[in-house]
Structure 1
Amino acid sequence: MAKIVISAQIDLPADKREEALKTAQPFIDGALSQEGCLHYDWSADLNNPTRINVFEEWTSEEALASHFANKHYAGMLGHLGSFGI
């Protein structure tokens, strides 16, 4: 079965990026603790001060679907919402 790889970007005001990254750690840790999560990382884009790069790797579509239904994903959406995203 093929792995699922996600590469995404989150754009937000430059003055909010570091705060968003620092306070996201509980949601990142939550994703990493989920069965089927091989990699889950947020990082500051070195070329764009308003961007966070997101990279995820999951063992299967089922694992990713479970992530989307998990409280950690819902919490992450709320976290991003607090920054107007």
Structure 2
Amino acid sequence: MVIVAGHITVDPGQRESYLAGCTSVVEQARRAAGCLDFAITADLLDPARINIFERWESQAAVETFRSSGPSDDQSAAMVSASVAEYDIADVRSLTAPDPA
């Protein structure tokens, strides 16, 4: 399993439009083979921060989905970024399984 996590910062006045521009990326990722979770969200405390979280079945799934990085408009809006990939060897559930 691979987790991609971190955050980017944008001008606070551009955060909502940046997030709106990410809607199609999130939709595509969640439909992609091997995607277990994908979220790009506004931080609750910092008006400039956008949190990134992705969970994938494998490195191959990440690479198949990610043909390029952010669009030119998104890259231009970023003030800074700190995002990394983590290879996960083991998982322990912290919640009870769904009764479904």
Note the aligned Cα RMSD (angstroms). 1.6
Aligned CA distance change for structure 1 residues 50 and 84 (closer, same or farther; 3 Å): closer
Name the residue aligned to 1:77. Answer: 70
Aligned CA distance change for structure 1 residues 84 and 61 (closer, same or farther; 3 Å): closer
Shift of 1:62: 0.6
| Greater fraction strand | 2
Separation in 2, partners of 1:84, 1:60? 28
- Displacement over 2 Å in runs of 4+: 81-85
Separation in 2, partners of 1:6, 1:26? 18
Unaligned runs of at least 5 residues, structure 2: 80-100
Which structure is larger by alpha-carbon Rg, 1 or 2? 2
Unaligned runs of at least 5 residues, structure 1: none
**TM-score normalized by the length of structure 1:** 0.81
Cα distance per residue 1:25-46 (max 9 Å; x no partner): 0111011111000100011111
Among 36, 41, 45, the residue aligned to 1:38: 36
SS of structure 2 residue aligned to 1:77:
coil
Separation in 1, partners of 2:53, 2:14? 20
Among 22, 45, 48, the residue aligned to 1:47: 45
Aligned CA distance change for structure 1 residues 45 and 77 (closer, same or farther; 3 Å): same
**How many positions carry a matched residue from both structures?**
78
